[in-house]
Amino acid sequence: MNQLTPVVKKILIGNVTIFILHKLLPFDLIDILGLRYLASPQFEPYQIITHLFMHASVGHLFSNMFSLITFGPVLETRLSSKRFLLFYLMTGIGAALLYTGVLYLEIHQFEALYTDYLNFPTPQKFSFFMQKFPKMYNNYYPFICDFFQYSHDAGYIGKSKAIVAQLYHIKTGVPIVGASGAIFGILTAFAMLYPHTRLMLFLFPIPIKAKYFLILYGVYELYAGLANNPADNVAHFAHLGGIVFAYLFIKWYKGSGK
């Protein structure tokens, strides 16, 4: 493993410290530091930066920080500390902006379904709405079946509206956290600057050149993002944003002759 460089060390310490504080403090830091949907009343401009240092779980933190300390020092040495910090922030923020842009379009469509249901509730629409939340759909399956039998019952209609409203607020209110966009930026930069270096994954223990690794990963993220599986809570378009902004940065870096 490479010796930690100054900026990588500070980013690592910052992420670990904030994660520990998140576990120790009596309030939820994710609610404060996580990036909210841009139209949310809880959105604050500082969240565009702070969400990069907030992680939801030990596994989430470990995977990102492991990639940071594996590839980050090589890039910081190559780019310089000042340029590496700029690169890290640019890819992280760029990834978040792309993701929130896509999320805005998704929520706009979701909001139309939500409004339509409140105005014209039917069992068919309720079942369709609930299918966007597979776990909740299974939990409420008995209620859905009963609703089809008692479609004009005011009690069932009222309860279905309350469920739909709850899920709408969950969909629009979940904050985005993690450095994954910037980490994908780091992986992209490494693959562009050292394309023939062979990498090996834990779950795919066959050496593969960095450039091919990036292509395969990028194709997967694009596929998963377009598939938009409701059960998938990974921000694939944030990963793609990190790849895109890293590509632009490294192209600029190479073109500048620095």
Q: Does residue 237 carry a pLDDT above 90? A: no
Site of tokens 């209110």: 173
Interacting residues of 245 by C-beta distance below 8 A, sequence separation 6+: 90, 91, 94, 95, 185
Cβ atoms within 10 Å, residue 66 = 12
Interacting residues of 145 by C-beta distance below 8 A, sequence separation 6+: none
Kindly report, residue by residue over 174-201, the tens digit of the pLDDT: 788 989 889 999 999 999 999 878 877 6
| Mean pLDDT value across residues 130-144 | 86
Q: Does residue 236 carry a pLDDT above 70? A: no
pLDDT of residue 201: 64
Q: Does residue 224 carry a pLDDT above 80? A: no
Position 7 confidence tier, pLDDT thresholds 50, 70, 90: very high
Within its chain, how far is the Cα of 55 from the centroid? Answer: 11
Q: Does residue 225 carry a pLDDT above 70? A: no
Q: Does residue 256 carry a pLDDT above 90? A: no
Does residue 198 sit in helix, strand or coil? strand
Instruction: Give the C-alpha separation, 141 to 211, whole Å.
Output: 46
**What single string gives the DSSP state of each residue in 72-115?**
HHHHHHHH-HHHHHHHHHHHHHHHHHHHHHHHHHHHHHHHHHHH
Instruction: Give the C-alpha separation, 9 to 168, whole Å.
Output: 40
Position 85 confidence tier, pLDDT thresholds 50, 70, 90: very high
Instruction: Give the C-alpha separation, 194 to 206, whole Å.
Output: 18
Position 235 confidence tier, pLDDT thresholds 50, 70, 90: low
Q: Does residue 230 carry a pLDDT above 60? A: no
Position 211 confidence tier, pLDDT thresholds 50, 70, 90: confident
Tell which phi-psi region holds residue 104, choosing left (phi > 0), alpha (psi between -120 and 50) or beta.
alpha
Position 103 confidence tier, pLDDT thresholds 50, 70, 90: confident
pLDDT of residue 25: 92
Kindly report, residue by residue over 34-72, the tens digit of the pLDDT: 998 777 788 899 999 999 999 988 998 998 999 899 999
User: The pTM is what?
Assistant: 0.78
Q: Does residue 227 carry a pLDDT above 70? A: no
State the burial class of residue 210 (Cβ atoms within 10 Å of its Cβ: 0-12, 13-18, 19+).
buried
pLDDT of residue 199: 77
* CATH numeric code, 6-105+176-256: 1.20.1540.10
Position 104 confidence tier, pLDDT thresholds 50, 70, 90: confident
Instruction: Give the C-alpha separation, 213 to 195, whole Å.
Output: 9
Position 105 confidence tier, pLDDT thresholds 50, 70, 90: confident
Q: Does residue 258 carry a pLDDT above 80? A: no
Where in the chain are the domains?
Answer: 6-105+176-256, 107-173
Mean pLDDT score of the chain: 85
Instruction: Give the C-alpha separation, 59 to 178, whole Å.
Output: 11
Q: Alpha helices, DSSP H only, in 25-80?
A: 29-33, 47-50, 58-79
Encoding tokens for residue 118? Answer: 């409140």
